[in-house]
Amino acid sequence: MSSAQNHRKLTILAQDPGVKVAGRIAFASVDVANEIVADGPTGHRVKVIDFDASANVLYAPRVFGADAKGQASDPFRPKAWKSAAARRKWEAATLANPAFHAQNVYAIAMRTLARFERALGRRVRWSFPGHQISIAPHAFCDANAYYSEADRAIFFGYFRSPTSRKTVFTCLSHDIVAHETTHALLDGLRDGFTDPSTPDQAAFHEGFADVVALLSVFSLKEIVEAALLGDRRAPAMRKHNRLIPAAALRLEALADSMLLGVGEQFGAETGGARANALRRSAALKPNRGYLAQARFQEEHDRGEVFAAAMLRSFLLMWTKRIAALGTFEGDKYNLERVIEEGAKAADNLLTMAIRALDYCPPVDLTFGDYLAAFLTADAQTVPDDSRYAYRALVRATFESYGITVPARLTVRATGEWRQFDPAAEIAYDRTHFDSMLHDSEEVFRFVWENRKALKIGAAGELHINSVRPSIRQGQDGFLLRETVCEYVQVLRLFSSELEKLVGIERPADMASNVMLTVYGGGTLIFDEYGRIKYHVAQRLEDGPRQAARLDYLWKNDLIGSARDSGGRFADMHRNRTL
């Protein structure tokens, strides 16, 4: 008998085996979409195939049974144990069970996907043809994990710790699973972001995935409490009213307690691996000069500047919400309320961060472009930001790290993209808006016939990347309906043609017969009546932008490099570990 419920509960690791709450490994029961699940687990979006290429072993799939109500059973749900020893024995058996590893990656990947879809108001596709992404929990013996578009998969490694001699599984780290799933989702939303381009675009994938991984943990009360308290015990005023000193909730104290606890096992066992990136980001105090420094030209170091700006924004949002709470004896706060306000701040920021992707240009992204998209997207759904002034807070924080919106394309007072000129001579009567909600051919006709008003040049090949209707609930309770369309221009030319076609000179040490590819493109946001609200464009004829991009690619030997996202992410994460 089928259930009418939309979600089911599944047990996962709330962080990783190195994080404990009151001496216990932190398991959590989380909501996952209620779907018909085949062995694996295999659902309509995620397929777990547990093959270990290093050992040439195919593990038995996780098989879902059903309870009396027809719900998929969860044999890993923690029980009431008679002794601590019995609990530890169960923990060890569960962590060693490949079936639990399979359930853990399935559930966290599905939760991350659901979080994106809730923020964007629509289904999110993968970047490759097909509907299911494969996940291998024990893909190889290596201290690495990565997403590969070419393989339509996410691979998690395992390794023998050089310090504890224990086997460490990356598939058991909540933040690593969420990070890699975010790479896959971001690639589906903006596949141009993996093309060789600006240093900011190369860094954005890593920084954004780090931010999603961290903020997603804040829905798990166990981890927030453990990070706040550490080994301390909050003094109890009453049984259900535990208190925490105000000194523990200052911004820098929160950064140390919360952010330094993320990815504890993986970071400790490798002596400073991928999970430590969040720790380094938290340690980056505001400095407007970071992005000009030689150290931060490398992409994953540069991504840490973006992550630092976002994480500091979150901490400022959280402390602002805490300050609005009342205190008890000795300048102490109610622990449960502090955790609740942290979850709300994280949820708000994560929603804002994901929605911003719709307002980004499809090519040659900069951190400043993303900031303008962030401010614009949030203003569309939450026009009145007076209570907490989140947008002003985020803008000021990003600026403290040297990240500013593009001045000539944005409104000075708010930092938002300038709205499309309503006086522009756009022909709306030659296309059918109902078809434009989903038909890329109809959108292409609209763009083609309005290319002069849209200031799209004739050079290069023009094509529509995506057409995505979106429905979001606004602050007033009404639905905000938009259609997000991406177009891209691709121009292939010899370096000798740069000045004639793009208006820039080739580097002095570049031969005249080097084959180059330059990009232009834009994002069109249509309102519910089919009128253009925003046109966020990177124009192909923008000489300064093209010159900066070419200079970066030439100096870093990236001319002609392929967009092999699998190899790119694998190498990036391996380098980050080392």
Q: What's the pLDDT tens digit per position in 60-102?
A: 988 877 666 666 678 898 888 888 899 999 999 999 999 999 9
Question: Given a cut of 80, is residue 353 above it in pLDDT?
Answer: yes
In terms of average pLDDT, the best of 253-262, 516-525, 548-557 is: 516-525
For residues 222 and 215, what is the distance between their CA atoms, to the nearest angstrom?
Answer: 14
Are residues 169 and 156 in contact, defined by beta-carbon separation less than 8 angstroms?
yes
Question: Given a cut of 70, is residue 36 above it in pLDDT?
Answer: yes
Question: Given a cut of 90, is residue 372 above it in pLDDT?
Answer: yes
Counting Cβ atoms within 10 Å, is residue 406 exposed (0-12), middle (13-18) or buried (19+)? middle
Question: For residue 102, what pLDDT is reported?
Answer: 96
Structural tokens at position 328: 């008890």
List strands edge to edge, sheet with 479-494.
Answer: 461-473, 479-494, 515-526, 532-538
CA angle 225, 107, 374 (to 5 degrees): 70
For residues 133 and 128, what is the distance between their CA atoms, to the nearest angstrom?
Answer: 9
Among residues 525, 143, 280, 213, the alpha carbon closest in space to that of 205 is found at: 213
**DSSP β-ladder status, 46-48 and 133-141:** parallel
DSSP annotation of 505? P
Structural tokens at position 135: 């996940």
Counting Cβ atoms within 10 Å, is residue 384 exposed (0-12), middle (13-18) or buried (19+)? exposed
Q: What's the pLDDT tens digit per position in 260-273?
A: 544 555 555 555 44
Are residues 10 and 30 in contact, defined by beta-carbon separation less than 8 angstroms?
yes
Are residues 312 and 287 in contact, defined by beta-carbon separation less than 8 angstroms?
no
Q: Which residue has the higher pLDDT, 232 or 314?
A: 314
Are residues 483 and 468 in contact, defined by beta-carbon separation less than 8 angstroms?
yes
Question: For residue 67, what pLDDT is reported?
Answer: 64
- The residue whose two tokens read 């024990």 is 138
Name the residue type at position 503.
Answer: G
For residues 244 and 247, what is the distance between their CA atoms, to the nearest angstrom?
Answer: 9
Question: Given a cut of 60, is residue 275 above it in pLDDT?
Answer: no
Structural tokens at position 220: 């798990």
For residues 570 and 566, what is the distance between their CA atoms, to the nearest angstrom?
Answer: 6
Global pTM reads 0.91
DSSP annotation of 94? H
Question: For residue 274, what pLDDT is reported?
Answer: 45
| pLDDT bucket at 255, cuts 50 / 70 / 90 | confident
Question: For residue 375, what pLDDT is reported?
Answer: 98
Q: Which residue has the higher pLDDT, 310 or 280?
A: 310
Give the helix/strand (H/E) hosting 192: none
Question: For residue 176, what pLDDT is reported?
Answer: 92
Question: Given a cut of 70, is residue 536 above it in pLDDT?
Answer: yes
243: which strand partners?
334
Range with the poorest average pLDDT among 101-105, 231-235, 522-526: 231-235
Helix-helix angle 174-189:565-577, to 10 degrees = 150
Question: For residue 80, what pLDDT is reported?
Answer: 82
**DSSP β-ladder status, 241-245 and 332-334:** antiparallel
Question: Given a cut of 50, is residue 310 above it in pLDDT?
Answer: yes
Helix-helix angle 367-381:390-400, to 10 degrees = 170
Question: For residue 238, what pLDDT is reported?
Answer: 42
For residues 314 and 211, what is the distance between their CA atoms, to the nearest angstrom?
Answer: 10
Percent of the chain with pLDDT over 90: 56
For residues 322 and 13, what is the distance between their CA atoms, to the nearest angstrom?
Answer: 28
Range with the poorest average pLDDT among 74-88, 219-233, 272-286: 272-286
Range with the poorest average pLDDT among 246-250, 262-266, 312-316, 476-480: 262-266
| pLDDT bucket at 576, cuts 50 / 70 / 90 | low
Torsion of CA 282, 286, 290, 296, to 10 degrees: 10
For residues 364 and 201, what is the distance between their CA atoms, to the nearest angstrom?
Answer: 6
| pLDDT bucket at 567, cuts 50 / 70 / 90 | low
Question: Given a cut of 80, is residue 201 above it in pLDDT?
Answer: yes
Q: What's the pLDDT tens digit per position in 381-405?
A: 999 888 889 999 999 999 999 999 9
Range with the poorest average pLDDT among 151-155, 278-282, 295-299: 278-282
Give the helix/strand (H/E) hosting 61: none
Average pLDDT across the chain, whole number: 87
Are residues 137 and 156 in contact, defined by beta-carbon separation less than 8 angstroms?
yes
**What are the start-end ranges of the E strands in 38-112?**
46-48, 51-52, 57-58
Are residues 338 and 228 in contact, defined by beta-carbon separation less than 8 angstroms?
yes
Are residues 266 and 278 in contact, defined by beta-carbon separation less than 8 angstroms?
no
For residues 135 and 49, what is the distance between their CA atoms, to the nearest angstrom?
Answer: 6
How far, CA to CA in Å, does 105 sit from each of 12, 155, 216, 267? 8, 11, 14, 19
Q: Which residue has the higher pLDDT, 471 or 536?
A: 536
Phi-psi sector, 59: left (phi>0), alpha (psi -120 to 50), beta: beta
| pLDDT bucket at 314, cuts 50 / 70 / 90 | very high
Question: For residue 179, what pLDDT is reported?
Answer: 93
How far, CA to CA in Å, does 492 sit from each of 170, 427, 482, 516, 520? 41, 30, 33, 6, 12
How far, CA to CA in Å, does 233 sit from each of 179, 322, 336? 31, 20, 13
Question: For residue 473, what pLDDT is reported?
Answer: 78
Are residues 27 and 93 in contact, defined by beta-carbon separation less than 8 angstroms?
no
Percent of the chain with pLDDT over 70: 88
Question: For residue 64, what pLDDT is reported?
Answer: 77
CA angle 257, 260, 266 (to 5 degrees): 140
Question: Given a cut of 70, is residue 431 above it in pLDDT?
Answer: yes
Question: For residue 239, what pLDDT is reported?
Answer: 47
Mean pLDDT of 12-38: 85
Question: For residue 20, what pLDDT is reported?
Answer: 75
**DSSP β-ladder status, 57-58 and 51-52:** antiparallel
